[in-house]
Amino acid sequence: MSKVPLTVRGADRLREELTELKQVARPKVIQDIAEARAHGDLKENAEYHAAREQQGFIEGRIKEIESKLSHAQVIDVTTINADGRVIFGATVDVYEEEEDAEHTFQIVGDDEADIKQGLISVGSPMARALIGKSVGDEAAVQTPNGKRHMEILAVRYE
């Protein structure tokens, strides 16, 4: 499997979630299973079956996070000299002509993307249109609602 780009903040969040799952959620569900077993007949014990199902979700998520972290290429954008160009991890301020509005986006890995927080995936059409551009450059992005034209106002590496 190839390396997957991840910001430092994204990697930290995954590590925090992994620690929470291993140190809090996993022991709690094990305790819940033990308590449910103590109630007797397991065939008709809803608490037992719910706890086992929860345990399956927790173990699956732990494996998923461990896999993501083992294949991650953590990129610290603050250590890269990009000469003002938009790169992975950069925060970009743009002026969008169609909306007559300014927006701020950070280009992040696929798992970190959340448009409501201004985090766009490096593989998204918008990120692909912005990467490599500098302040003052224009980018056009084809969306389902038509073409969007943006001017890059600022590029930060934070």
For 66-116, the pLDDT digits (tens) are 999 999 999 998 888 888 899 999 999 999 988 889 999 999 998 899 989
Question: What are the tens digits of pLDDT across the range 118-131?
Answer: 999 999 999 999 99
Q: How confident is the model over 24-37, as a mean pLDDT?
A: 91
Does domain 4-75 correspond to CATH entry 3.40.50.720?
no
C-alpha to C-alpha distance for 24 and 19, rounded to whole angstroms:
8
Is the confidence at residue 28, as pLDDT, over 90?
yes
Question: What are the tens digits of pLDDT across the range 11-26?
Answer: 999 999 999 999 999 9
Dihedral-angle region of residue 22 (phi above 0 means left; psi in -120 to 50 means alpha; beta otherwise): alpha
The model's pTM is: 0.78
* Domain ranges within the chain, ordered by starting residue: 4-75, 77-156
| Residue 1, pLDDT score | 58
In this prediction, residue 158 has a pLDDT band, given cuts at 50, 70 and 90, of: confident
Q: Where are the alpha helices (DSSP H) in the chain?
A: 8-20, 26-38, 46-70, 125-130
Class of 77-156 in CATH: alpha beta
Q: Give 94-98 contacts, CB < 8 A, sequence gap 24+.
A: 94/130, 94/139, 94/150, 94/151, 94/152, 94/153, 95/150, 95/151, 95/153, 96/148, 96/149, 96/150, 97/148, 97/149, 97/150, 97/151, 98/146, 98/148, 98/149
Amino acid at 57: F
